[in-house]
Amino acid sequence: MTLIFINLHLIDVLDILLVAGLLYVLYYLLRGTVAINIFLGIVSIFLIWRLVTLFGMELLSEILGAFVSVGFIALIIIFQPEIRQFLLALGTPRFIRKHRRRFSILGFRFSEEEEFDLAPIVRACVGLAEKNTGALIVITRQNSLFQYTSTGVEIDAGISQPLIENIFFKNSPLHDGAMIIQGNRIKAAGCILPVTKKLDLPGRPGLRHRAALGITEQSDAIGIVISEERGSISVTHDGNLNPMPNGEALAAFLKAELLPAE
């Protein structure tokens, strides 16, 4: 043990901190899901393998080593949704998106994005909430979500409050699915979205809320949910559910996430 501490260098400390940070990020992404138990079990086996190797238990070390080497392939299969979410978070950093104008001063070039017209969306959500009309609206960003727009009815119309309210009218044939908005256009309605697998969601949310969480876990989109039972508005983002107390809060949230910072 004395030799270990004597040979500990700065690069070793940095290596330990990076591994600890990676494990924390993985735990943060997996918490509340069934996969967290599998993740903790694999980490335990890895630590036991390193321990028996340190004590020179060759037979047990060989058995656990073979299991760990094959286990990396199993990790990719088991944690495919979580790995997708992790890589998506790395590929779409919020800081660069929000401060693209500052980066442009340094010579970086970003593709221009059409500024969203948020006012009709906010007014429609407030109107639906006042009537206790359930709705699910998805606003895309870099990911076009074409695989989900194809599951609904193509609309390709401009954004307007009356159109949104009519689509989610209780007797409308499209009110049960999700509306997908892309580039200031309502691309489709009645779309089928993936449902989150999280188990520790507060308040026992319904299928709309679980679908809104599911789409934000697999893409960089933003989901807006209006509860039919409570008449409340919630926003999903990065796999998190955020209640909105009123229309002003919803407008401020959407503006902060969708419009470039001044």
Among 93-97, 212-216, 258-262, which range has the highest average pLDDT? 212-216
How large is the average pLDDT for residues 61-65?
Answer: 83
pLDDT digits (tens, 9 = 90+) for 115-148: 668 899 999 999 999 999 999 999 998 777 888 8
Q: What is the pLDDT of residue 91?
A: 56
Indicate whether 229 pLDDT > 80: yes
Among 87-96, 103-112, 183-192, which range has the highest average pLDDT? 183-192
Least confidently predicted of 47-56, 110-119, 132-141 = 110-119
Domains assigned to the chain? 2-91 (no CATH), 119-258 (3.40.1700.10)
Is the model more confident about 224 or about 13?
224
Is the model more confident about 244 or about 36?
244
Q: What whole-number percentage of the chain has pLDDT above 90? A: 31
Whole-structure pTM value = 0.63
Q: What is the pLDDT of residue 109?
A: 46
How large is the average pLDDT for residues 155-172?
Answer: 91
How large is the average pLDDT for residues 234-243?
Answer: 90
Instruction: Report the C-alpha gap between 27 and 25 in whole angstroms.
Output: 5
Q: What is the pLDDT of residue 49?
A: 86
